[in-house]
Chains A and B, each alone.
Chain A
Amino acid sequence: MWSYFANPERFDRLARALIPWCWGVAAVLFAVGLPWALYFSPGDYQQSDTVRIMYVHVPAAWLAMFAYAGLGGASFVYFIWRHNLADLAARAIAPAGAVFAFICLATGSLWGRPMWGAWWVWDARLTSMLVLFLLYLGYMALRGAIEDEKLSARAGAVLAMAGLINLPVIKFSVDWWNTLHQGASVFRFDGPTIDASQLWPLAIMALGFTVLYLALVLTQMRAMMMERRAEALERRRERRLELEAEL
């Protein structure tokens, strides 16, 4: 399956067909989800309107973690099969994931101020999100520091996989260290403890964020492919000009 989509031409056709759909579906989901979440859904009986921050905060947190899994998965595929597209995907995912992690931290801090009485609390989940953000930054810094493209791809893949292995351990150690954040309320064995009037807008926002993420990554991947093609064309033109000059 990897090899089937590793063909850049085939991927390009697929991406070109998918990208407008992704942007469109994301726009529709946000058009429905944002007003519902921010205006029509009921406030919480304890948190009143601040609960609305959750509709942005929770999807951003999910996406930040999901994107790291994607980064690690793409890196693994690149490391084993050396498909350039997997490396392109990893490079496109990293900034998107970092931004989602940042949104999660920023909205969490805005929510913490009225609820916990502090902009920042050294709570386990906040801290592990901060560490995840640092992992993204380290990955992007390493990719940026190595000029050679192949070497940068392989070093980045090794680092992303190491981060993926270590992430559960970090999560566990930080949980052990301190927990103030409320427990999970959506994905639980005994069913969600969150009311349907809040679960629906949350689900729509989460789906909207996910489709937006796909749109961002696919668009970025196509942009990088075209950039590479443009560079190749530029080099070919220069070589032709040199040859003509010699003649």
Chain B
Amino acid sequence: MSALGAIFTRELRLAFAGGGGPAGPAAFNLAALALAPLAIGPDADTLQAAGPGVIAFAALLATLQPAERIFSEDASDGTLELYALSPVGLALSLFMKTLAFILAVFWTTPLLAFIGGLAYGMDVGSAFVLALGLAFAAPGLAFIAAFAGALAAGLKRAGLLIALIAAPLQVPLLVFAAGAGRAAMDGTGLEGPNLMMALAGSLAALALAPFGAAAALKARLE
């Protein structure tokens, strides 16, 4: 267990020391939220209707942003070999690493979603539901992005490839997270099921993505 704890704290320290913690993806998320109204137009009704979708989409884009670097450094400096040799195994090590990374980097996503919801004219209650939906969905989105990052680690133009690989797999989480916010706003009473589905999808990604990432990276180590 201490090996996993060591991986966890190492990743937290790395995220805050060299990576600036949540700063990069959060700034990216915020920029996307700020630019969308400039493209959509200032009409309050349109912005409110588009709000949950735009906010969930901005959160999705922010998870793709750091996916390229999450495994590439570990692949080049030999850390991955150590993870593969460790008694806990590669999949569990990668799970711990990605989990720490997500806690360090994406804790801002629900906050930004809440603030963004208010800025797009949603009422407090539905902005909170949307934030909750993204709090559920963000770990899954980030795990899928990390899986794509593992497949593309060390390749030229990996960023482009990651977006193309991860985007289709992230569709369900996007649908349910944005759907929760929209359902709360429209009063259809479907926010509960949407939230549950977002959480279920996220947990499934948490359970499966580390094995996929481990299989992809193991092929690289041989």
* Chain A residues near B (Cβ < 8 Å): 79, 131-132, 134-135, 137-138, 141-142, 145-146, 150-151, 154-155, 158-159, 161-163, 165-166, 169-170, 172-174, 176-177
- B152→A142 contact, CB < 8 A: yes
**Which residue numbers of B lie inside 8 Å of A, CB to CB?**
147, 151-152, 155-157, 161, 164-165, 167-169, 171-172, 175-176, 179, 197, 201, 204, 208, 212, 215-216, 219-220
Residues of A within 8 A of B172 (CB): 166, 169-170, 172-173
- Asked whether, in the complex, the Cβ of B169 is within 8 Å of the Cβ of A166, the reply is yes
Residues B219 and A145 in contact, CB atoms below 8 Å apart: no
Given A138-B168, A145-B155; A173-B216 close (CB under 8 Å): no
Which listed residue (B171, B179, B197, B212) contacts A162, Cβ 8 A? B212
- Whether the pair B168, A159 counts as a contact (CB closer than 8 A) is no
Contact B201 A155 (CB under 8 A): no
Secondary structure class of chain A's binding surface, majority of residues: helix
Decide if the interface of chain B is mainly helix, strand, loop or mixed.
helix
- Whether the pair A134, B168 counts as a contact (CB closer than 8 A) is yes
Please indicate the chain A residues that have their CB under 8 angstroms from the CB of B152 in the complex: 142, 145
Asked whether A176 lies within 8 Å of B175 as measured between CB atoms, the reply is: yes
Residue of A nearest to B172 (CB): A173
Pairs across A and B, CB under 8 Å, 9 listed: A131-B171, A145-B155, A155-B219, A161-B212, A162-B208, A166-B169, A170-B168, A173-B175, A177-B179
| B212 with A158: CB separation less than 8 A | yes
Known interface pairs A145-B152, A154-B216, A159-B151. Does A138 touch B165 (Cβ–Cβ under 8 Å)? yes
User: Is there an interface contact between A174 and B157, defined as CB atoms closer than 8 Å?
Assistant: no
